[in-house]
Amino acid sequence: MDTPVEKLRKILKAETEKFEDRAVIGGLARFADTWTREATAAFGPEASAWIQAIADRLRAYSQLSSRPERVAALEELFRLLKAGPSAGAPSAPPPQPAAQIQRMPSAPAVAPSPPPTEEPTGLNAPLTTVRGIGKRQSQRLARLGLRTIRDLLFYLPRRHEDFSNLKPINRLEYGEEVTIIARVQSTNTWQTKSGRTAFKALLTDGTGYIEATWFNQPHLAERIRQGQQIVISGKVDQYLGRPCFTSPEWEPPQKQLLHTGGLVPVYSLTEGLTNRWLRQVMRRVVDYWAPRVPDPLPTDLREAYGLLDLATALRQVHFPDNKTMLKKARYRLAFEELFIFQLGLLRQRLLWRSQPGRQIPIEEERLQAFILSLPFRLTSAQQRALGQIVADLRSPYPMSRLLQGDVGSGKTVVAATAMALVADAGLQAAMMAPTEILAEQHYQTLTRLYANWPGRPPTVRLLTGSTTGAEREEIYAGLADGSIDIAVGTHALIQEGVTFRDLALVVIDEQHRFGVRQRAALRQKGRDGSRDEPGGYNPHLLVMTATPIPRSLQLTIWGHLDVSVIDEMPPGRQPVTTRVIMPRERERAYAFVRSQVEKGRQAFIICPLVEASEKIEAKAAVEEYERLQKEVFPDLRLGLLHGRMKAEEKEAVMAAFARGELDILVATSVVEVGIDVPNATVMLVEGAERFGLAQLHQFRGRVGRGEHPSYCLLVAESASPEAEERLRAVEATTDGFVLAQKDLEMRGPGEFLGTRQSGMPDLKMATIADLRLLERVREAASRLLEEDPNLERPEHRLLARRVTEMWSKGEGEVS
C-alpha cells in the first residue's frame, strides 16, 4: 500500500495534467481531511505542523482561480512532500484559503514566532480568495487599485473616526465632517419630483435636532426605525438655513466601538462599497495577514529608532488602540518607505564612488591667480562653493555635487573656474545645457571669463545640433585627441560619435531639464576615454540648478549628491519690482509694457498654464498671440514661443528676441529656462495663479539681468482669496527658497518638480516635507550601509529586495 506521501504525490501528479482540481473526487480540498487523518496515523502528532501545512494548501487549492497560481501551489506541495515530516512547520503559511481566515483566532495569539522572513506567496493571491469578497466586490475594489491581499493590507485608512470624541448636535458647524450618535425621532419616505425615492430621518441627541436624508435607498425604511440609536458620519450641509446630512454613512452603535473609545478606520471608497463592509473584510485580512508579512526592517534598527514591528504597525494603522499607537504606526510605515528610498539613493552614491575619480592636483597659488583673473570679484557664497568643488576635485573620489543658486546668483562662473582648473591639469571638461541658445550663451560667457587667464587659456568649443559638416568633424577630432580642453553644448555632446581623450569633469546646467538617461550618457563619456585604465575612472560630476530646493526635497531626491548653495546675489543687482494685477487693471499693464518698449526695452508675456495638453496650450498661446498682435500692440513686433514648435523654430525666435529684433515675446512656460536677455525689463504673467510660486519666481528671473530697472506683473485671472495670498507672497519676497518651501508645502513634491521629473518613486505614506523624520531615516540608512554596503547579510535580504522593487519602478537612477 502507498504511504500517505506517495498517495498524495500521485494525486498531485495527476492534477498537474490539467490543473482543474479533478484529480481526486470532490477536489483536493475534500481530500485534505482524509490526508490529515492518514498522515497523522502514519507520522504521529509530532508531524502535525507539517501535515497541517499540507492540508491547508490542499484546502486552498480550489480557490485559486488562475493556472499560474495553481502551478505554484502544486510546486509548493511537492516541495513540502519532499521535505518530509521531520522538516517541521514550513515558514511560509499557505495561500489564504477562505475557510482558513475564518478559522483563525485573533491575531496576536497566532503570531508566528520568530516572525516570518520570507514573503508568503498567498499575499499575492487575488481578493476573491478572501471570505466575504465576491466577484462584484472584487471588481469594485479593483477600481481602487486593490487586486491582491497585499494591496488590501496596505490600503490605509483615510482617517479615523474618533468615537471617544463625539460632537453634540447643537455644536455642529457647517462643512465639517463629524460623527454623532443620536436617536431617531421620526422617519419619512416620499418620491421626489425627479422620481427618486427619498428617505428622511429626524435625529436628536437631546442638545438639538438634525435631519438626515438619503436618496434611492428605499430599504433604509426597514433598517432605520423610530426610537433607535444610530451613528451618523458625514459632512454637515445646510438646507434652508438649517444643518442637515445628505446621504451620510450610518450604522447602529456598536458597544465595542463606543466603550473602548475606539478609533474606527474610514477608507476612501468607490461606488458600491461601504466603509462598514470594508471594515469587516479588513478586520479579517489584517488579523490573519499582518503577523504573516515579514518585516523588512531588522530588529536592531527598529529598536534603535523606536519603531513598531510591521505586524503591530499594520494592525494599529487600521485598528488603532488609541491615538498614540496610530501615530506610532504611521511613523513606522513612513519610516520604512523613506528608508528604502534612501538606501537606494545612498547605494547609488556608493556605487558611483566605488570607481576612482581623477585626483586633480590644484595648487593654492594657481587657484588664487585664476580667481584674480576673473572680470569681477567672486561673492563669498561663490568662493565657498568653489572651495567645496576644488576639494572634491583634489580628492580621489569622483565628485557628485549639486550646485544650487537662485537665478542670477552666478553659478556659471563657478563652474567655469572648475572647468579651467581641470583643463590646466591637462584633462578635459564638458558642459551640457538644455537648449542651443543657452549653450551658446555659456560658450560666450566662458570665452569672456577666460580672457585674462594666467597662462594658456583653455581651448573651448561649442557643439550643438547646428554644428555640422567639417566643423563638427574637426571638433570630434579635437575632443578625441585632447586638443580641445572644454566642450560646451547640448545633447549633441552625448551623440554616438563623440569621444573624449580624457574627460574628467562633467557640468550639467539646469539639470532637471534633462532625462536621467541623457545625464548618465554624458557621464559615461568619461569612461570611454580611459579605456586603457583598469576599471576606468568616473568623471567628476557637477549639476547646476536654479530651482531653490528645500532641504527636505534635497535629501530625498538629490540625497546622493553633495550640495553647494550660492545664497547671495552679486552686488549691484536691482531687485525686480513685482506687482499683482487684477484683471480689470490689465489695460494699464499693457500700457506699461508699451511705455517700456517705447523706452527701447523688451517684454515677455506669459500665457496662462493650460493643463489639458501641450497641444491645447499651444493653440491658446497662438490665439493670445494673435489677439495681442492685432488688437493690443498692432504697431509692435511680437514673437511667439510654445512647446509644440520645432526646436529650431524655438531657437530662431529666442535668438531674434535676444538680438532685439522683437519687442515682445509671447510665450508659454517653455521660456522658463535660463535665457539671458539683459534688455528685457518686463515680465507679464497671465493667469498667474495657475503657476507654482517657484515657477513664477523663475519667470521673474528672466528680467532684471541688465542695468535697467525691471518689473514683474502677475495678472490674476480669478483671484480667490487664497490665490491672491499666494501671489502676494511672490510680491513680498525675492527669496527663491522661501517661495520654494511654500510651494512644496502647498502643492507637494510632484507638482513642485513638474511631471517631467520622473525617476522618482511614488511615496504613499511619507510626506517628504517632514524634515526631522527624513534626517533620522538618512542617518539610519547610512549606518546600515556602512556595515553592509551591498545588503548581503541574511537579515537584510528582504530589504535589498524592497530597494530593488522600489527603484525599478522609477528609472532607477535619479541623476
Residues near ligand ADP (CB under 6 A): 376-379, 382, 405, 407-413, 546, 570, 674
Cβ proximity to ligand ADP, 132 vs 408, nearer residue: 408
Q: Which of ligand ADP, Mg ion, none lies near 378, with the C-beta cut-off 5 to 8 A by kind?
A: ligand ADP
* Residues near 671 by beta carbon (within 8 Å), at least 6 away in sequence: 604, 606, 641, 665, 699, 702
Q: Which of 62, 248, 81 is nearest to 172 (CA)?
A: 248
Q: Is the peptide bond before 457 cis (omega within 30 degrees of 0)?
A: no
- Give the three-state DSSP class for 496: coil
Whole-angstrom distance, CA of residue 287 vs CA of residue 103: 11
Q: Which of Mg ion, ligand ADP, none lies near 315, with the C-beta cut-off 5 to 8 A by kind?
A: none
CB burial of residue 80 (10 Å; 0-12, 13-18, 19+): buried
Least Å from the CB of residue 445 to ligand ADP: 7
Least Å from the CB of residue 509 to Mg ion: 6
Cβ proximity to Mg ion, 94 vs 674, nearer residue: 674
212: which 3 cell numbers? 438626515
Q: Which of 733, 735, 769, 736 is nearest to 751 (CA)?
A: 769
Q: How many residues does the chain have?
A: 815
Cβ proximity to Mg ion, 53 vs 508, nearer residue: 508
CB burial of residue 482 (10 Å; 0-12, 13-18, 19+): middle
Q: Which of ligand ADP, Mg ion, none lies near 458, with the C-beta cut-off 5 to 8 A by kind?
A: none
How far is residue 22 from each of residues 28, 38, 54, 334, 357, measured CA to CA in Å? 8, 21, 18, 46, 64
Q: Which of Mg ion, ligand ADP, none lies near 262, with the C-beta cut-off 5 to 8 A by kind?
A: none
Q: Which of ligand ADP, Mg ion, none lies near 405, with the C-beta cut-off 5 to 8 A by kind?
A: ligand ADP
Least Å from the CB of residue 295 to ligand ADP: 46
Helix 4-18 × helix 27-43 angle, to 10°: 160
Place of cell 501615530: 327
Cβ proximity to Mg ion, 434 vs 674, nearer residue: 674
Q: Which of ligand ADP, Mg ion, none lies near 292, with the C-beta cut-off 5 to 8 A by kind?
A: none
Whole-angstrom distance, CA of residue 726 vs CA of residue 739: 9
Least Å from the CB of residue 611 to Mg ion: 28
Indicate the residue type of 685: V
Cβ proximity to Mg ion, 8 vs 694, nearer residue: 694
Q: Which of Mg ion, ligand ADP, none lies near 712, with the C-beta cut-off 5 to 8 A by kind?
A: none
The alpha carbon of residue 360 and the mean position of all alpha carbons in its chain are separated, in whole angstroms, by 37
Least Å from the CB of residue 690 to ligand ADP: 25
Instruction: Please check whether residue 565 is in contact with residue 385, taking contact to mean a CB–CB distance below 8 angstroms.
Output: yes
Least Å from the CB of residue 379 to ligand ADP: 5
Binding range to Mg ion, per CB under 5 A, among 45-53, 557-565, 620-628, 670-678: 670-678
Cβ proximity to ligand ADP, 411 vs 512, nearer residue: 411
Least Å from the CB of residue 581 to ligand ADP: 26
Cβ proximity to ligand ADP, 410 vs 559, nearer residue: 410
- The residue with its CB nearest to ligand ADP is 410
Instruction: Please check whether residue 156 is in contact with residue 145, taking contact to mean a CB–CB distance below 8 angstroms.
Output: no
The alpha carbon of residue 673 and the mean position of all alpha carbons in its chain are separated, in whole angstroms, by 23
Cβ proximity to ligand ADP, 59 vs 705, nearer residue: 705
Whole-angstrom distance, CA of residue 806 vs CA of residue 337: 9
Q: Which of 684, 665, 680, 662 is nearest to 591 (CA)?
A: 684
Cβ proximity to Mg ion, 550 vs 674, nearer residue: 674
Cβ proximity to Mg ion, 415 vs 715, nearer residue: 415
Helix 310-318 × helix 323-354 angle, to 10°: 130
Q: Which long-range contacts (CB under 8 A, 24 or more apart) does 617-623 make?
A: 617/642, 617/643, 617/668, 618/642, 618/643, 618/644, 618/645, 618/668, 621/666, 621/667, 621/668
Instruction: Please check whether residue 638 is in contact with residue 628, taking contact to mean a CB–CB distance below 8 angstroms.
Output: yes
Q: Which of ligand ADP, Mg ion, none lies near 344, with the C-beta cut-off 5 to 8 A by kind?
A: none
Least Å from the CB of residue 658 to ligand ADP: 14
Tell me if 248 contacts Mg ion by CB under 5 A: no
Binding range to Mg ion, per CB under 5 A, among 147-155, 458-466, 666-674, 788-796: 666-674
Count residues binding Mg ion (CB under 5 A): 1
Least Å from the CB of residue 411 to Mg ion: 5
Least Å from the CB of residue 745 to ligand ADP: 25
Cβ proximity to ligand ADP, 735 vs 786, nearer residue: 735
Instruction: Please check whether residue 535 is in contact with residue 458, taking contact to mean a CB–CB distance below 8 angstroms.
Output: no
DSSP letter at 148 equals: B
- Give the three-state DSSP class for 766: coil
Tell me if 94 contacts Mg ion by CB under 5 A: no
Least Å from the CB of residue 566 to Mg ion: 11
Binding range to Mg ion, per CB under 5 A, among 167-175, 197-205, 498-506, 667-675: 667-675
Instruction: Please check whether residue 661 is in contact with residue 635, taking contact to mean a CB–CB distance below 8 angstroms.
Output: no
Least Å from the CB of residue 260 to ligand ADP: 59
Whole-angstrom distance, CA of residue 322 vs CA of residue 334: 19
CA angle (556 as vertex; 550, 559 as ends), nearest 5: 100
Whole-angstrom distance, CA of residue 706 vs CA of residue 703: 8
Least Å from the CB of residue 480 to Mg ion: 29
Whole-angstrom distance, CA of residue 242 vs CA of residue 226: 21
Q: Which of Mg ion, ligand ADP, none lies near 706, with the C-beta cut-off 5 to 8 A by kind?
A: none
DSSP structure string for 538-590: BPEEEEEE-S---HHHHHHHTTTSEEEEE-SPPTTPPPPEEEEE-GGGHHHHH
Least Å from the CB of residue 375 to ligand ADP: 8
- The residue with its CB nearest to Mg ion is 674
Least Å from the CB of residue 315 to ligand ADP: 51
Least Å from the CB of residue 544 to ligand ADP: 7
Q: Which of ligand ADP, Mg ion, none lies near 215, with the C-beta cut-off 5 to 8 A by kind?
A: none
Kind of pairing between the strands at 428-432 and 503-508: parallel
Instruction: Please check whether residue 560 is in contact with residue 814, taking contact to mean a CB–CB distance below 8 angstroms.
Output: yes
Q: Which of ligand ADP, Mg ion, none lies near 704, with the C-beta cut-off 5 to 8 A by kind?
A: none
Cβ proximity to ligand ADP, 380 vs 468, nearer residue: 380
Q: Which of ligand ADP, Mg ion, none lies near 783, with the C-beta cut-off 5 to 8 A by kind?
A: none
Binding range to Mg ion, per CB under 5 A, among 46-54, 238-246, 429-437, 673-681: 673-681
Tell me if 93 contacts Mg ion by CB under 5 A: no
Cβ proximity to ligand ADP, 129 vs 409, nearer residue: 409
Choose which of 93, 291, 674, 692 interacts with Mg ion (CB under 5 A).
674
Cβ proximity to ligand ADP, 277 vs 453, nearer residue: 453
Q: Which of Mg ion, ligand ADP, none lies near 685, with the C-beta cut-off 5 to 8 A by kind?
A: none
Place of cell 481578493: 127
Least Å from the CB of residue 435 to Mg ion: 12
Place of cell 516541495: 79
Cβ proximity to ligand ADP, 566 vs 589, nearer residue: 566
Cβ proximity to ligand ADP, 120 vs 704, nearer residue: 704
Cβ proximity to Mg ion, 443 vs 537, nearer residue: 443
Q: Which of ligand ADP, Mg ion, none lies near 316, with the C-beta cut-off 5 to 8 A by kind?
A: none
Binding range to Mg ion, per CB under 5 A, among 111-119, 281-289, 552-560, 668-676: 668-676
Residues that bind Mg ion (CB under 5 A): 674
